[in-house]
Amino acid sequence: DAGVIQSPRHEVTEMGQEVTLRCKPISGHDYLFWYRQTMMRGLELLIYFNNNVPIDDSGMPEDRFSAKMPNASFSTLKIQPSEPRDSAVYFCASSQGLRGANVLTFGAGSRLTVL
Amino acid sequence: QKEVEQDPGPLSVPEGAIVSLNCTYSNSAFQYFMWYRQYSRKGPELLMYTYSSGNKEDGRFTAQVDKSSKYISLFIRDSQPSDSATYLCAPPDFGNEKLTFGTGTRLTIIP
């Protein structure tokens, strides 16, 4: 298996532009997570899905952020409009959701810079 | 108060030294504890996990849990330059499947 695949790996954009990050989870994994990592705040959970259904989006910072999972093999995280404070590394992770031993497999991340 | 707290470091030690990385948590409901390792410009990956108090050994790595004081430790023996990474602790919430990570401790092993 190729693991969790994220694209793009790097994105530089200007404030106000729309940003779309993409993720392909590991086949057979029922859970998909979006995390954001910054030096100041560490790794923060934004939203997670179970069987393509959003379960907890309490970590989504603002209405500018939205996430979708139209099918089991694809998810997007969209920021519209983007702001400089959104600059971070965004990770997608997937898991089989084994209760109490939920091992997440992370993608390589998408590094976003908003100028 | 954050659910999981770690000293962010950075921590630099010479090769061969014993490293101690620590994590405290506030939610007494946490039953399982995981350590993830993250190399520079990579995603985190599971290093080891334990689901009880006491020690668990895996090669040069030992995870220790003290539930009475809500304190988790990771020890690295005979540290190597390849151990240079950020180490994150993550106690899974038994009520759901999401993981809350500590901020991580950045470790550098100096050859």
Could B43 and A109 be called an inter-chain contact, meaning their C-beta atoms sit closer than 8 Å? Answer: yes
Could B44 and A106 be called an inter-chain contact, meaning their C-beta atoms sit closer than 8 Å? Answer: yes
Could B51 and A107 be called an inter-chain contact, meaning their C-beta atoms sit closer than 8 Å? Answer: no
Percent residues over pLDDT 70 in chain A: 96
What is the arithmetic mean of pLDDT over A76-91? 97
Interface with chain B: mutation pick from A6, A32, A43, highest number of B CBs within 10 Å: A43
Amino acid at A100: G
- Render pLDDT for A34-58 as a digit per residue (tens, 0 to 9): 999 998 888 999 999 999 999 999 9
Residues of B in contact with A50 (CB under 8 A): 97
What is the arithmetic mean of pLDDT over A63-74? 96
Q: Would you say residue A100 has pLDDT above 60?
A: no
Instruction: With cut-offs at 50, 70 and 90, classify the pLDDT of residue B93.
Output: low
What single string gives the DSSP state of each residue in chain A? ----EEE-SEEEE-TT--EEEEEE--TT--EEEEEEEETTTEEEEEEEEETTEEEE-TT--STTEEEEEEETTEEEEEESS--GGG-EEEEEEEE---TT----EE---EEEEE-
Instruction: With cut-offs at 50, 70 and 90, classify the pLDDT of residue B26.
Output: confident
Q: Would you say residue B1 has pLDDT above 80?
A: no
Could B97 and A41 be called an inter-chain contact, meaning their C-beta atoms sit closer than 8 Å? Answer: no
What is the arithmetic mean of pLDDT over B34-48? 94
How distant is the alpha carbon of residue B50 from its chain centre? 11
Q: Would you say residue B95 has pLDDT above 80?
A: no
Question: Distance (Å) from the C-alpha of residue B44 to the closest C-alpha of chain A?
Answer: 6
Burial of B95 (0-12, 13-18, 19+ CB in 10 A): exposed
Residue of B nearest to A57 (CA): B98
